[in-house]
Amino acid sequence: MAKVLIIGAGGVGNVVVHKCAALPEVFGEIVLASRTHAKCQEIAAAVERRTGRTIETAQVDADDVPQMVALIRAVQPDLVINVALPYQDLPIMDACLETGVDYLDTANYEPIDEAKFEYHWQWAYRERYREAGITALLGSGFDPGVTNVFCAWAAKHHFDTIDTIDIVDCNGGDHGKAFATNFNPEINIREVTQRGKYWEGEWREIDPMSVSRDFDFPGVGTRRMYLLYHEELESLVENLAHKGLKRIRFWMTFGEEYITHLRVLQNVGMTRIDPVEFEGTSIVPIQFLKALLPDPGSLGEGYEGKTSIGCVIAGTKDGQPVRKFIHNICDHAETFREVGAQAVSYTTGVPTMIGAKMLLTKEWTGPGVFNMEEFDPDPFMEDLNRYGLPWHVVDCDQPID
């Protein structure tokens, strides 16, 4: 049995603690820490009611490396699970490096003063982690995370060559709010308002939300999806080059009401990430907006509908053209009954737990910094079915041109 330190007490952190607590044979001791200790205590109490497990809690500012180092040394975990904000990836990685402890996160680093997320900041730690003999597993959520593993599994079992990958993400649920985001509002809005980008022999940029397609999502139906940039594209381009990859894109659905609200907020400056002066005080508009919007962790009760996320992959096998669709369907109401969370938090939190399990049981091992597709996908795919995210693979007759 191992001891884990989980940093972050939002909606995803809630799911991760619940799912880890359900596997005492792997996660023998669990410590949950965040800037807001009361949120940790609330999650710990809910987990104890559901599972009978006692969860230790602590307060920490994850931006402060000395604080993180002191907490890690006090807890002495086998693994630090980072489900805090992407801004905090590098300080937490620094603290793990200083203390010699393995690291896992769900999203790549993003500087707070620039709406830009890339892996190069974290890939720069590769040699230092190798020299320290510790492992960093990056992006162990759903997308990135499960989508990376879907691609690796398809490459291993179904394709000799891969021509194109389209990652498609649909939340077909209804939370009943006029406008809300399903994960951290600040991160979500920064993500969807930056310029889109995809890879087709080279990186190509487009205006935000300027390219869209209709797609029939299993379990949900036909929805309009928009081409965005997402971080798994960067690592998959590098790690699937040997398969002859020619193009990879990422698509996400948005309803018209969401887009209308977002456009208005942009037009009035509420999505700005730079500070402005207001009555003698410096505020960042998007951070103020975050304070006004519903907490994503509060959206679970009464949330109806399903998410449908997967990878459409086209290539060849034994000289013949093949197109496969690997996907998962997740129900908001079912996840709320299980762990008190909506499906977007659940689909991120479950693979976080599975990625941690892979490291702690040594299914995945090795010193350095790794993306999900660099390890054997088979045990992870088996655990998706075992722990709440069953997947399906079908022949696909929906080309995305």
CATH code of residue 64: 3.40.50.720
- Global pTM reads 0.92
How far lies 182's CA from each of 254, 360, 373, in Å?
Answer: 12, 29, 25
Q: Which domain holds residue 69?
A: 2-138
Provide the number of structural domains found in the chain.
2
Paired tokens of 136: 């960093």
- Give the span between the Cα atoms of 164 and 166, in whole angstroms: 7
pLDDT score of 182? 55
Residue 85 forms part of a structural domain = yes
Which of 138, 154, 183 is where one domain is finished? Answer: 138
Contact between 187 and 87 under an 8 Å Cβ cutoff? The reply is no
Q: Whose CA is closest to 255, among 218, 212, 295, 292?
A: 212
Same domain for 46 and 171: no
Residue 245 forms part of a structural domain = yes
Of the pLDDT bands very low, low, confident and very high (cuts 50, 70, 90), residue 178 is low
pLDDT score of 214? 95
Query: What's the chain's length in residues?
Result: 401
- Percent of the chain at pLDDT > 70 equals 87
Region 351-368 average pLDDT: 98
- Give the span between the Cα atoms of 33 and 62, in whole angstroms: 9
- Give the span between the Cα atoms of 22 and 148, in whole angstroms: 25
Q: Say whether pLDDT at 95 is over 60.
A: yes
Q: Say whether pLDDT at 265 is over 80.
A: no
Same domain for 320 and 184: yes
- Give the span between the Cα atoms of 227 and 213, in whole angstroms: 8
Write out the H or E segment, with its range, that includes residue 146.
Answer: helix 146-157
pLDDT top residue among 87 and 325: 325
Contact between 180 and 293 under an 8 Å Cβ cutoff? The reply is yes
Same domain for 208 and 117: no
Per the omega criterion (within 30 degrees of 0), is the bond before 351 cis? no
Contact between 370 and 145 under an 8 Å Cβ cutoff? The reply is no
